[in-house]
Structure formats: structure tokens, C-alpha cells
Amino acid sequence: MTYTPFSLMPLLMLGLSVNISPALATAWDKDAFNPKPDDEDIILPMPCDGAMAFRRIEIPVASPLDDLPITLGQDGGEWGVIEHSYPAFIAGSFADSGKGKGRYYLMAKYELTALQYQALMEGNCPTPSRKLSVPATGMSWFEAVTAADKYNQWLRSNARDKLPKEEDEPGFLRLPTEVEWEFAARGGLKVNSVEFRDMRYPMDDIKNYEWYTGAQSSNGKIQLVGRLTPNPLGLYDMLGNVSEMMFTPYSLNKLHRMHGQTGGFVVRGGNYLSDESDIRSTMRKEVNYYDNAAPATSKTTGLRLVVVSRTITSQGRVKQLEKSWETLGTSNPNADQKKDESKDTAKALGSLASGVEDAALKQKLKELENQLRASNQQQQEERAQSIRASLNLGSFLCTKLQDDGRFLDFLNQNYDALCKDKDASDTNCANRKAKLGEQTERLQQLTGYYASSLVDSATLYGQDGLKHEVTVFDQMLTLNKRLSGLKPFLAAHWQNQQKYLANGKIDTTGWLESCKQVTGSN
């Protein structure tokens, strides 16, 4: 027998229809919205006593106009016009609560389920069930946007304080852009640069991670969310189960950039009917918004939401942006402006243009200034990448110095203990001495290589350039658990480099000891 609250009896006896209120909804257990819970999950409530799980996608940049250069797409693919590699840039919407910790946006941990979609779009609350824990499909792009809109309105009316904030302004949900989606699909900063460029994030066997066609995987059927292994960011079914709609419209690829014409909407990632070869992070397809007179729908297409914020959140942010804009593309944005202004060609052009009365000439000078600033900015971004590569090398070489240095100490201790009072003709001691000599020579070569790398990068980039990128690279190591063991070696390497920058002395012995003394991780 179904229980009906006494307060609704008069309405029902009069034959009036009543929408079930959220208070009467069946509360969802965790399996209904987060079958694989994790301590780093962020949970947002939904209508009908429901919820949705999200993951932080972190980017180690802090200033309003900072962003991280990345390369998306792939080289040498069969469909170059669709998937060829191109440069892109990404930055998070929300500042980390810790100062200098970078920024982030949120991405749904799972594809939107049928249960969640019904809770947003239908008047009555659905009852959680196993069959509703599959991705929602069969909606148009417009219905996907409507679902996001309904969720935004509900959150802002019922759980505004649960949304992440940027400068006290709550964020909002929408479909992801292609850059946001592909950065996350590749593993973001949880993978190294080589793994990021692979067609798939690191996986031992694809059938353990993604659903695709065939008896070894989906067997032609849509699957429950969260049953397989997630990608390095903790996101499930990024490259399979259902294709996912993007917010940005489709563009073709034109060597090194997107083509100027935009068309239909984009779906990414492949689905349960895709061949295994089509399950890759670069897979993208254009879909018409309409099928004849009706909006286009598909049984293999669903969606995954992101949480982001406005870019201009306050008058204070406008001032920050203006201040950052003034330094973009200048010769040395980290230097004292008054001291360096005379050496800055871009600023000199701007000053010259402001004093010219001829309108055409003034416009040409301003265009030239902007072109120069853009060129300078590109060089600065490439320089920053080179500095981080040098810091990566220095940190890695520091680990090798520790290994080889400690091994040499071990050989020396053994030789002193076992061969100190032995005759020189002792065969075992002769072999130990030879091994000791080989290891000493090897360590000397490694120390020399480390010293050359340290001195070259210090000479090329200087204190200011290195200091800023040390902070960025340290954050990148923090975000990548597999590389976080390099953090103390980065600290030791930076300490060695600072000493050289301060006194100009090449202290290979001291640098070796600094690396040998590293213990644990920060």
C-alpha cells in the first residue's frame, strides 16, 4: 500500500494532480550518484534529494591572465583535418584557497545518468534504480543546455552556498569546451608530458578502463557508470560508453590552429558502439543541431557537466586584468617597470604612438606595438616551458647524484672494512678497487653533466626567470603523485642553483652532497 500524507488527501479526493515535492522523494544512496567514492570528490546536491560528484581539474597558474600552454590533437593521424595537433591554452576558473596554489575548474566524475537527467527535467522525482544508473541519452544539444540551466537555477535557489566561488560570486554549470574536455581526458597534470601527448591516458588494458564495441567490452549495450577504472584524474568513462556533447561549436583543423568556419556541435570520446581504435582522446565528430525539422538526438550521445565561473567577477578583477595586460609582451614583465621602460621596445612604440597626431600613422604604430607584444608574449611562454624543462632535468639528475653518490660511499666503506689491511695482491680486493674506480669515474661524469646543466640554465634564465618557474613546477609536481617524489630534489637543485647565482662558484662537491642529503618528500 502506498502511503499518502494526510495534507494531500483533500486535493487527491478532488481529483487534482499534484507534483511530488522534494520532501517526498526517495533519498538517493551513494551508489545512485557516486558508485566509486573517493576522498577528493566534491559533491553538489540535486533536486529530489539527489547529488552529483565532481573532480577538481587543477592548473598551476595564479594571476588573472596566466594560462598554461598545452598541445591537443595528434600528429600523423588518418584524419589530419579533424584531429591534427594544435596549440591551446587553459586556466582554471577558481582560485585555490591556499595562496599561490593555482586555479581549478570542476568536471563531473561520471557521465550524467538517466536518474539525474529525470530529476532535473521531469516534474515528478524518479525512484533510484539500477536501470537509471546508465548515462542519459536521446536528448538534443538544446535539452542538454536546458538541463544545465535547470540545475543552475535549482542550485542557486536551494544550495547556493555549495557552489564554488570566485571572489564571492558562485560558479555555474555548463557543457565543457573542447579544451576543458580534452585536457581532462588526457589526464591533465596527473600525467607527464609524454603521457599527455599519447592518444590515450596511461592504461594497462583498455577493456579495464573504457567501454567500446565487441564481446570483450560493451557487447553492444550501454553500461552502468563507474564500473571500470578511472583515468588519472579520477574521471570515469571519458573515452567510451557514450559520446559527450561539447559547449563550443565544431571547427575543422588547419595546421597549427582551428579553421575559421564553425558548424554544428561537437561530440567527443567515442561510445559503446565505437571500434577500439576510435577510443582515443583526439576523437571528435561534428553533429548537426537539427535532424530535418527536429533537434538531433542519438542513443549513443550523452553529456558531462563542468563547473566554471565568469572571467570578470568584480571591478577589482578588472583592475587586476588591466595591470596584467600592461605587462603582457613587454621585454621583462618581472622587472621593475620604471628601470626597464627605456629598454622596452613595445612600450617605446606605445609612447611614440601617443605623441603622433597623424591618425593613420598612430594606428600603424599601435598595430606594430601589438604585434611586437604578441611576439614577445609567445617567446616568454616558450621560455617558461624551457625553464621548466631545465628544472625537470636538474631535479632528475639530482636523484641520480644521490643514487650514485650513496653507492660510491657504500663501496668505499666496504673497501675500507674488508681491504684496508690486505695485501695488494688479494684478488677480491683488487676487484673491489677496480669497481671503486669505475664508480668514481661514473660519478665524476654525472657530476660534471649536472654542473653544466645547472650553470647553463642559470646563465640563460637568471634569478627572476628561474624563481617564478620553480613555483609553477613545484605545483605541477604536487598535482602529479607519480612525480611528487621529485619535489625535495627540486628544492635541493634550486638551492644549488641559488648558491651559484649568488657567488658564481662551481661547487660540484657541495652540490653532490646537497643531493645526497635529500630525504623523503615534501
What is the average per-residue pLDDT within 463-482? 88
pLDDT score recorded for residue 1: 35
pLDDT tens-digit profile of 219-268? Answer: 999 999 999 999 999 999 999 999 999 999 999 988 888 899 999 999 99
pLDDT score recorded for residue 354: 66
pLDDT score recorded for residue 12: 34
Q: How far apart are CA 329 and CA 344, in angstroms?
A: 10
Residue for grid cell 640563460:
460
Residue 207: count of CB within 10 angstroms of its CB: 16
**What pTM value is reported for the model?**
0.79
Q: What percent of the chain clears pLDDT 90, i.e. is strictly above it?
A: 60
Question: Which class is domain 382-516?
Answer: mainly alpha
Give 421-482 as a DSSP string: TS-TT-HHHHHHHHHHHHHHHHHHHHHHHHHHHHHHHHHHHHHHHHHHHHHHHHHHHHH-TT
pLDDT score recorded for residue 345: 62
pLDDT tens-digit profile of 377-390? Answer: 788 888 888 999 99
Q: How far apart are CA 468 and CA 500, in angstroms?
A: 17
pLDDT of 41 > 90? The answer is: yes
Give 257-294 as a DSSP string: EEEEEEEEEEEES--TTS-GGG-STT-EEEE-SEETTE
Domain ranges of the chain: 26-308, 331-378, 382-516
The helix/strand/coil state of 68 is strand
pLDDT of 10 > 70? The answer is: no
pLDDT tens-digit profile of 346-357? Answer: 666 566 666 667
pLDDT score recorded for residue 153: 97
| Of 2-11, 20-29, 480-489, highest mean pLDDT | 480-489
Strands (E), 283-437: 284-287, 290-291, 294-295, 301-302, 306-308
Q: How far apart are CA 146 and CA 137, in angstroms?
A: 14
Comparing 11 with 455, which gets the higher pLDDT?
A: 455
Least confident of 62-76, 326-340, 459-473: 326-340
Q: Which of 468, 449, 444, 456 is nearest to 497 (CA)?
A: 456
Q: What percent of the chain clears pLDDT 70, i.e. is strictly above it?
A: 88
Strands (E), 151-269: 165-166, 169-170, 172-174, 243-254, 257-268
What is the average per-residue pLDDT within 88-115? 89
pLDDT score recorded for residue 356: 65
Q: How far apart are CA 414 and CA 409, in angstroms?
A: 9
Q: Return the CATH number of the domain spanning residue range 26-308.
A: 3.90.1580.10
Residue 74 · residue 96 · CB < 8 Å: no
